[in-house]
Structure 1
Amino acid sequence: MTMKNKVAVITGAGSGIGRSVSFKLAEQGMRVVVVDLDHKRGEETLAFVKEKGGEGIFIKADVSKNGDLEKYVSTVREKYGRIDVFVNNAAILNQPALLADHSEEMFDQIIAVNLKGAFLGLKHVLNVMEKQKSGVIINSASTGGIHSTPYLSVYAAAKHGIVGLTKTSAVEYGPLGIRINAICPGGVITNMTKHLDMSDSEQNGPLGRPANPEEIANVVSFLASDEASYMNGSIVTIDGGLTA
């Protein structure tokens, strides 16, 4: 199945998993909309996409702000007329600490970006896909969304929330021709995780290493394609067996 000329919107696309997903979907022939708060990184991703012969645009947006979400969705509709794939990926990570040592300010920030941002993305993109009667959404959760994540309790709470949003919205919108799934990566080598110790073999699971972003992008590409046409409401682990 070709994905040529379909339109994919990827949030948090300035680096890490989002950047790799942008490259992968562009390779499949999709027109990619790179969304990120960091203008420089976002433009870098788009430049790499174009260097490889891909097509797309960059939109700067803070996913925790409703106005920014409305803006980027309307911009995509004006430019391309539709949204075929939405990779709801933007997230931030707090410094590890015991739950009682987390500040209220940090809690509000993590929930605003990681959970509220995912909700707002779903809200606005689903309005577009409902009119189309088609579309695929891949939410970025985490192994922290399906099991305990010591010292990252607020991050885990947000990712558990994304799992709940995924399962519920998949049931609500599946009858309308929209598939919604979530991925749950384990440790991945990205700028966001560079301050964490990724060398602990127990935390890395049976394969004994963290993932590269490209390995996550490969799964996202499959979920975005018609080859995954009967997958809806699935919570897909990509963790080397960590949660097995």
Structure 2
Amino acid sequence: QGLTHLSYSEREVLAQLRLPAGADSEGYELHPSMLDAALQAAVGLSISQDIQKQPGTFVPYAVQAVAVYGRVPHNAWAYVQYSAGSEPAGSKLKYDIVLTDANGAICVSLKGLAVRSIVQPVDNGLFYSTPEWQVKPLADGDKVSPIEPGSNTLLLVGLEPDVVETITATFDSAEVIAFPQPGPDIAGYMRHLVGQSQAQLKGLIPSKASGPGHQVLVVARDTVARYIYAPLAGLLKTARLEQPHLRGKVITVSNPEIDGLMSILSQELRSDSFQAMEIRYDASGVRTAKTLREVALPAPAKRGYLKPGGVYWIIGGLGGLGRIFARHLLEQGDHVTLILSGRSALDEVAKQHLADLKRDGGTVAYLSADVGQWADVERVVRTIREKYGSLNGIIHSAGVIRDSLIFNKTAVEIEAVLAPKVSGMLNIDAVTQAEPLDFVVLFSSMAGVLGNIGQADYAAANAFLDSFAQHRQSLVEQGQRSGRTLSINWPLWADGGMTVDDET
């Protein structure tokens, strides 16, 4: 929590450090949190090297010399370089670290800090959980702070113009940005919402990195479909990981009374409770928070979920996970037909993957299609109907990553990442809404639940998938869609999944 900014090259790192709020510095020349932050800064030297590719975890185990010249202040700098004779290779590394005050005066130096890689057996045990909303009132013991001028941003989604005016006048020390009710172009609205919110966070990073912290509250009426603004939860969770001084919540309110809304905002702005970042208030003012509850998977049904001779569409079917599940369906099904689709035409590698799947039995076909384009989705579904007679299930495993920190994200990158999951899923749902499907499975990611450094847009896209799955399932229960809808937040896979690249 003490590392606020990092600049690096292949041979050196310069890091800005700040003592975390609430840390007791009394009696310390070098607070443990500041030392820990300096050690974290040393990791920056491995960002563009092959160190991170080595197995195990690097931990410090010895230091040649420590010199203390004065007390390290709450705001300091750490300069890190390799020790003489140490190179970014092998399982042992040595660093020299100098901590200075804001004026560059040396406070502490560490010579020959040695770290080594410790490899432990990998435990591949999986835990399963499901989201649920639990009553979580703001406790009396929660820290309450005054509303600091310039330290709050309100992103208002779908609130009435007169309500926006009242909020702006009441909380005049906060920056208020209002997004109108969404129109018919939901995908375009969401691109704008995520893009503008990312730009807002980007603007807060340099100006607040050394300040008291900044909180961003997203406030939406429950009259706006939750999946439309759910991506902002993934965005804010990632922002907090990348920049600990940024804190955020996504708050849904049902109370139509302006006084009730003002009271809610006043309490949330003054509260330092950020353990839960997705909050709902019902019409009675009861506060609930989105949490995870561990569950046990039910025993497999005796009756298979695949129809004999059924037809199943896997979007991203020749990607890593797509191939894994294509093979699974071929093994589990009885003479099933798989329609795999992807944006690219078949190259030699893809042709080989397709040939390998066909050897597993069943019928496997490939269609080139970009699900981000409505016409492509309509063409695929029409082709399936005409050639195979029916469509029984869909697995949406397509995804794109463009890894970079929020501060470096571009609108082009964000749009590329959102397209297959946001535009893609909206198009798939629109075209197949009358199809008698047995299931629709969306491949999401833990990034959508927890955020992930370097993947703010990817976290946003997956948070959308999770929320849209709940939305579609509610339509199933109302008789407006067919087939169980399920979103799965996959962790990292040993084979086939998406990961953050080495540079990020």
TM-score band (shorter)?
Answer: 0.7 to 0.9
What is the distance in 1 between the residues matched to 2:470 and 2:326?
Answer: 25
Correspondence 1:120 to 2:427? yes
Q: What is the TM-score of this pair, normalised by structure 2?
A: 0.36
Which of 383, 386, 391 is the equivalent residue of 1:78? 386
How far 1:56 moved relative to its partner? 2.4
What is the distance in 2 between the residues matched to 1:26 and 1:47?
Answer: 13
Correspondence 1:54 to 2:362? yes
How far 1:194 moved relative to its partner? 6.3
What is the distance in 2 between the residues matched to 1:124 and 1:118?
Answer: 10
What is the distance in 1 between the residues matched to 2:478 and 2:379?
Answer: 28
Stretches of structure 2 lacking an aligned partner (at least 5 in a row): 1-302
More helix by share: 1
Which of 74, 85, 90 is the equivalent residue of 2:398? 90
Aligned to 1:53, the other structure's residue is in SS state: coil
Corresponding residue for 1:193?
498
The C-alpha deviation readout for 1:40-90, integer Å capped at 9, x for no partner, is 355434322221222121111111111111111111111221111100111
1:1-244 aligned at under 5 Å gives the runs 1-2=303-304, 3=306, 4-29=308-333, 30-38=336-344, 39-40=346-347, 42-95=350-403, 97-129=404-436, 134-176=437-479, 177-190=482-495, 193=498, 196-197=501-502
What is the percentage of aligned positions where both structures have the same residue? 21
How far 1:123 moved relative to its partner? 2.1
What is the distance in 1 between the residues matched to 2:499 and 2:446?
Answer: 18
Aligned to 1:146, the other structure's residue is in SS state: helix
Change (3 A) 1:106 1:120: same
Corresponding residue for 2:292?
none
How far 1:28 moved relative to its partner? 1.7
When structure 1 is superposed on structure 2, of 138-147 and 173-182 the one drifting more is 173-182
More strand by share: 2
The C-alpha deviation readout for 1:150-185, integer Å capped at 9, x for no partner, is 221010001101111100110111343421011111
- Paired amino acid for 1:182: S
- Paired amino acid for 1:10: I
Task: With a CA cutoff of 8 Å and minimum separation of 6, indicate the structure with the bigger relative contact order.
Answer: 1
What is the distance in 2 between the residues matched to 1:180 and 1:45?
Answer: 28
What is the distance in 2 between the residues matched to 1:121 and 1:43?
Answer: 25
How far 1:20 moved relative to its partner? 0.9
When structure 1 is superposed on structure 2, of 118-127 and 167-176 the one drifting more is 118-127
How far 1:190 moved relative to its partner? 5.0
How far 1:25 moved relative to its partner? 0.5
Corresponding residue for 2:267?
none
What is the distance in 2 between the residues matched to 1:179 and 1:157?
Answer: 23
Change (3 A) 1:20 1:184: same
Q: CA RMSD in A?
A: 1.9
What is the distance in 1 between the residues matched to 2:450 and 2:500?
Answer: 22
Corresponding residue for 1:220?
none
CA contact (8 A) 1:12 1:89 kept: yes
Change (3 A) 1:192 1:21: closer
| Higher Cα Rg, which structure | 2
**Which 4+ residue blocks in structure 1 deviate beyond 4 angstroms?**
189-192
Aligned to 1:120, the other structure's residue is in SS state: helix
CA contact (8 A) 1:88 1:121 kept: no
What is the distance in 2 between the residues matched to 1:139 and 1:156?
Answer: 14
Q: What is the TM-score of this pair, normalised by structure 1?
A: 0.72
CA contact (8 A) 1:144 1:155 kept: yes
- Paired amino acid for 1:183: I
CA contact (8 A) 2:455 2:500 kept: no
Counting matched residue pairs gives 192
Aligned to 2:493, the other structure's residue is in SS state: coil
What is the distance in 2 between the residues matched to 1:85 and 1:141?
Answer: 17
Corresponding residue for 1:222?
none
CA contact (8 A) 1:83 1:125 kept: no
Stretches of structure 1 lacking an aligned partner (at least 5 in a row): 198-244
Aligned to 2:433, the other structure's residue is in SS state: helix
What is the distance in 2 between the residues matched to 1:175 and 1:68?
Answer: 28
What is the distance in 1 between the residues matched to 2:478 and 2:343?
Answer: 34
What is the distance in 2 between the residues matched to 1:123 and 1:189?
Answer: 34
CA contact (8 A) 1:138 1:182 kept: yes
